[in-house]
Chain A
Amino acid sequence: MSMQSETLVKADIELRHVQKSFGSVDVIHGLDLTINGGEFVVFVGPSGCGKSTLLRMIAGLEEVTDGDILIGGRDVTDSDPARRGIAMVFQSYALYPHMSVKDNLAFGLKIAHTPPAEVEARVGAAAEILKINHLLERRPGQLSGGQRQRVAIGRAIVRKPLAFLFDEPLSNLDAELRVSMRIELARLHRELGNTMVYVTHDQIEAMTLADKIVVLRDGRIEQVGTPRQVYEDPDNMFVAGFIGSPRMNFLAARLRDRRTVEVAGASLALAAELGAAPGDIQFGIRPEHLHPGAERPGAIAARVDFSEYLGNTRYLYCVTGSGETVVAEQRDGDDFEPGQPVWLGCEPSQMRLFAKTGERLR
């Protein structure tokens, strides 16, 4: 958009050994993270993993116990939220209920004593981008959820921030609206090109929006990577299990030698030689890489417990001979009846092996 192109700034955000404690409870344990200018970074993790706290620390709404935060190369660790050059979109939108949409958008600019003509121009441009021109005179109470969300994003846009921070902005919307707003956010990022940091627990949002996903657990980074990297090449069992739905199957296994693994009575050849000593390990494979079929060598024997029909695909919930549950995706062929024996073939290139402690064996 023309409005942004003149002043497009792509600020890096750098977290250096950032720590946060509430009293004696540590919630963020010394995080190091670099977000490159213009990147769309998504923090994802189960609830209570500290992702929102981390975002609020970047925003300056939460004090940093230890470590430094740099935005655009400037140390902002102890700066006011207003002086960090960031704009934030809250989960509850947090619009000013007593002001019209126009005043909501203009509030920050007026406080900064921006000339009225420029306020008018910037509000107009933001309203144009978000298609809310016709709503400018209304109060937030007269808007639908999706419209409020647009206004909240508009309030962030008019400030021309160095970086946008989103705190689960779509979780209050219904499913259909969520999908369309997700697409709009992606479009907005393409048009504005700013650095964006986005917190969500919804992995579909994370996968579709992110240039880079940061998977968090208990205040620690488990993995940083592109959506493809975290999905296809997870660093540990947590990331492998958290990303992907239905989640990856994990089975107790035994590494016989560097090229063979024994899982649930089957002996499977690995795609590449493994640099680990023989012993007990965890074997992981995603449901779409398990191919149900007739008895054949190199397939895991199991019994169908029940099956789910989803239209475009089917999920078979199976129990192996060792009593472990596995989910397999079945795209074609006849339906399996509950109780029927099934043999699950595995693609060697899609097997993921983990040490008993959880880290990936490569």
Chain B
Amino acid sequence: MSARQAARRRKALLNGIARHGFGMGVALLFLAPLAWSILVSFKRPIEARKPPIPPWPVDGATLDNYAVLNDFGAGIWAHAGNSLTVALGTVIISVIVSLLAGYGFSRFKFPFKNTLFVLIIMSIMVPFQSILTPLFLILSALKLQNSLFGLILVYVTLQLPFSVFMMRNAFDAVPREIEEAARVDGASVWLVLVKVMLPLVFPGVVTVAIFAFLNSWNEFLAALIFMTDQDKYTLPILMTAVASGQFGTINWGAIQSGVTVMMLPCLALFLLLQRYYVRGLTAGAVK
């Protein structure tokens, strides 16, 4: 082995160490708060209130904090169920509506198409807080106040401008000729959408779904205002209710256990679907 080869190899090694070291440092920075929350949630309630060094339980691990969470209202499972219902409902309706709307805006010709699209996008600029009162009135008129379905409708409304925009772009990126080939092959508009287009815009669908899930799962203000029945609380409201301990103190243990419960589905969803973010399915379609 020549001296140059050895030098090159050493340089590559140092480069690798530096790169991986930097990556691990950044990853640690991002993972630390998550780890901290999870560790604190297993401390005894009294210990959880003390200064957080060391972050792991010293007096022995316990599930007391989770018990506190479960004793409140209808129980943690019921509230998690509420949140899950709302989040999944929002995801499903947002995906269906934005898929159809995106396809329509991307592929069909109809009067005032661009005006309508701009109107939809413009609604992103309306501050959500400013329409809370009218929304509340509409929901009460429709007898949907205090109902999870009503909350789903509100979330879908808030989610749609972004979703439609996202899906239209996804459809725009699919070459028109692929669709035409399917039409020549005998596929109806619906078949084209389901069998040919859907797999090609799937990364877009996943993006819309993840955003809809995270936003509705974490949403607080609308849920607080529209849900007055304690049994219908979603997790973020439950958290604030649980957080206040006796005499205005904050129950840190309960908060951290709530945070742990709340972030698990988000992490699972993201890990499950993240590869679609990366994958460019249209590769190889044309040229």
Q: Is A117's beta carbon under 8 Å from chain B? A: no
Q: Is A213's beta carbon under 8 Å from chain B? A: no
Chain A contributes a number of interface residues (CB within 8 A of B) equal to 32
Contact (Cβ within 8 A) B184 A92: no
Contact of B285 among A61, A112, A140 (CB under 8 A): A140
Interface segment, one of B29-37, B45-53, B240-248, B276-284? B276-284
User: Whole-angstrom distance between the alpha carbons of A87 and B186 in the complex?
Assistant: 10
Contact (Cβ within 8 A) A107 B284: no
Q: Is A293's beta carbon under 8 Å from chain B? A: no
Contact of A92 among B177, B183, B191, B195 (CB under 8 A): B177
Q: Is A94's beta carbon under 8 Å from chain B? A: yes
Q: Is A159's beta carbon under 8 Å from chain B? A: yes
- Beyond A93-B286, A98-B200, A141-B284, whether A82 also contacts B183 by CB under 8 A is yes
Q: Is B181's beta carbon under 8 Å from chain A? A: yes
Q: Which of A90, A140, A155 is the most central at the interface, judged by chain B CB atoms within 10 Å of its CB? A: A90
Chain B 165-206 residues near chain A, CB threshold 8 A: 175, 177-178, 180-187, 191, 195-196, 199-200
B199 CB → nearest A CB, Å: 4
Contact (Cβ within 8 A) B185 A111: yes
Contact (Cβ within 8 A) A92 B175: yes
Chain A 84-99 residues near chain B, CB threshold 8 A: 86-88, 90-98
Contact of B183 among A61, A142, A148, A159 (CB under 8 A): A61
Contact (Cβ within 8 A) B284 A82: no
Counted as pairs of residues, one from A and one from B, with CB atoms less than 8 Å apart, the total is: 83
Q: Is A143's beta carbon under 8 Å from chain B? A: yes
User: Whole-angstrom distance between the alpha carbons of A120 and B175 in the complex?
Assistant: 28
Q: Is A75's beta carbon under 8 Å from chain B? A: no
Q: Is B8's beta carbon under 8 Å from chain A? A: no
Contact (Cβ within 8 A) A97 B200: yes
Contact (Cβ within 8 A) B180 A90: yes
User: Whole-angstrom distance between the alpha carbons of A246 and B285 in the complex?
Assistant: 36
* A61 neighbours in B (Cβ, 8 Å): 180, 183-184
Residue of B nearest to A172 (CB): B287
Query: Which residues of B are in contact with A by a Cβ distance under 8 Å?
Result: 175, 177-178, 180-187, 191, 195-196, 199-200, 281-287
A-B contacts, 25 of them at CB < 8 A, read: A59-B180, A59-B184, A61-B184, A82-B184, A87-B184, A88-B184, A90-B180, A92-B177, A94-B175, A94-B181, A94-B285, A96-B178, A96-B181, A96-B196, A96-B285, A97-B283, A97-B285, A98-B200, A107-B185, A107-B195, A111-B187, A141-B284, A141-B285, A143-B284, A172-B287
Given contacts A91-B177, A141-B284, A143-B284, 6 further A-B contacts (CB under 8 A): A81-B180, A92-B175, A94-B175, A95-B178, A97-B178, A98-B200
